[in-house]
Amino acid sequence: MEKLIITAAICGAEVLKEHNPAIPYTIEECVREAKSAYDAGASLIHLHVRWDDGTPTQDKNRFKAVMDAIWAEIPDVIIQPSTGGAVGMTDDERLQPTELNPEMATLDCGTLNFGGDEVFMNTENTIKYFAEKMIERNIKPELECFDKSMIDMALRLHKKGFIKSPMHFDFVMGVNGGIDGTLRDFMFLRGSIPSDSTYTVAGVGRYEFPLAVAAIIDGGHVRVGFEDNVYLSKGVLAKSNGELVEKVVRMAKEFGREIANPTEARKILGLAAK
Ligand code: KMH
Ligand code: ZN
């Protein structure tokens, strides 16, 4: 079986220090969290950024400052900026980090309810616009699918040439408004993607570790991190993103799955060597 790529979603846009005091806002805190995840075995950092007061931003210069500071500590790590940003941001605001020509970025493949009155908007035209920018800038999209319909959208856009093969999916499961995080639903998503594609699973909240096990034994890849879950186990807050990654590494070892370093992850994902 292919080595396991562990992605750490270290920050997110919604989770706050009130939920876990280790949530990073400042540049220094982002570096600390990225390094803890990398040292534990993550090869890829899914990145949102904040202003120092915790407000989420897609500001290009803030992304550049955080990415440069992370690379100064861990030069080979893959950094995948979010183009989802936070609910309510405009398309062009969200696209800003793609101007930095990162190797990868997320491409959200549909609209969903995001709790209360919040709606995370991704119309077909938005998705096409983002996908075109990513092709233009040679960025590999991580296709964020919060439901089965989003996989179908990605496949239609792939057929029309907006997304290139081999596709890489991220099943984000357990969001209030998206697909649940059960094993049955995991199998449904996993069975709905082309055989030459790769996938990562990001289980939200209590689904994080059960779905990590599912992907480990299935040959998929795993995303953990504060964006999705702040607990190491029931009622126990994780002290760092690194602790969450360490837990996945322990589980992978139990099942005989080796961990990919960034060079190996780039090969698996079809990214150029760095
Ligand atoms: N913060 C969510 C509204 C992404 O990173 O591409 C969107 C999100 C998806 O987190
Ligand atoms: Zn995200």
Tell me the pLDDT tens digit for each residue of 195-231: 999 999 999 999 999 999 999 999 999 999 999 999 9
Domains, the chain, ranges and CATH? 6-269 (3.20.20.70)
Give 272's pLDDT tier (boundaries 50, 70, 90).
very high
List beta partners, residue 57.
49
Q: How far is the CA of 14 from the centre of ligand 2 (A)?
A: 9
Share of the chain above pLDDT 70, in %: 100
Kindly provide the b/e burial profile for residues 80-119, where b requires at least 16 CB atoms within 10 angstroms of the residue's own CB. Answer: bbbbbbbeebebeebbbbbebebbbbbbbbbbbebeeeee
Residue type, 134: M
The residue contributing the CA closest to ligand 1 atom 9 is 84
Around 143, how many Cα atoms within 13 Å sit in the side-chain half-sphere? 32
The DSSP output letter for 239 is: S
How many whole angstroms separate alpha carbon 110 and alpha carbon 54? 26
- Ligand 1 mutation pick, 106, 143, 227, max ligand atoms within 8 A of CB: 106
The residue contributing the CA closest to ligand 1 atom 6 is 84
**Residue range 86-91: mean pLDDT, rounded:** 98
Which atom of ligand 1 is least distant from the CA of 227?
10
**Residue range 93-118: mean pLDDT, rounded:** 97
- Residue 274, pLDDT above cutoff 90: no
Q: How far is the CA of 186 from the centre of ligand 1 (A)?
A: 20
Q: How far is the CA of 1 from the centre of ligand 2 (A)?
A: 27
**Residue range 103-108: mean pLDDT, rounded:** 98
pLDDT digits (tens, 9 = 90+) for 152-173: 999 999 999 999 999 999 999 9
